[in-house]
Amino acid sequence: MQINRTGKDRRCEQFDLSAYQEFTRTTAIYPGTGQHELPALTYCTLGLAGEAGEVANKVKKLIRDGNTPERREAIADELGDVLWYWTRLVDEMGLDPAKIIRQNMAKLRTRYAQR
């Protein structure tokens, strides 16, 4: 169990995905922002793929050059970018991020129920 600075079990912390989704709207500057149409969907999809590629490249370098706190922090930074693009794509598609996560959890519970 990990304890945060307030002494609370981290599993008890709640993160509001809807609030983050709303926040990303304030930082979104790309063709078709907020129009839920192909230019915005394409931009967000390409950004997501690009950032995921950056994560993969940094993990590759971590394997090659060694696992250091600096390299792990660089990966964490790229994962934040992945999260931003994922959230923007979800928003541009008019979807609820929490619903996507709940559906994914249900799918995985069914898939791995035998384990």
| Residue 87 placed within a domain | yes
The domain in which residue 88 lies consists of: 32-100
54 belongs to a structural domain: yes
Tell me, yes or no, whether 9 lies in a domain.
no
Q: For residue 94, is it within any domain?
A: yes
Confirm whether 72 is domain-assigned: yes
Flag whether 112 is in a domain. no
Tell me how many domains the chain contains. 1
* Phi/psi-derived region of residue 51, left when phi > 0, alpha when psi is between -120 and 50, beta in every other case: alpha
Total-model pTM: 0.84
User: In the numeric block, which tokens belong to residue 12?
Assistant: 């008890």
What share of the chain has pLDDT > 70, as a percent? 87
User: What pLDDT digit, counting tens, does each position of 47-73 carry?
Assistant: 999 999 999 999 999 999 999 999 999
User: Does residue 64 sit within a domain?
Assistant: yes
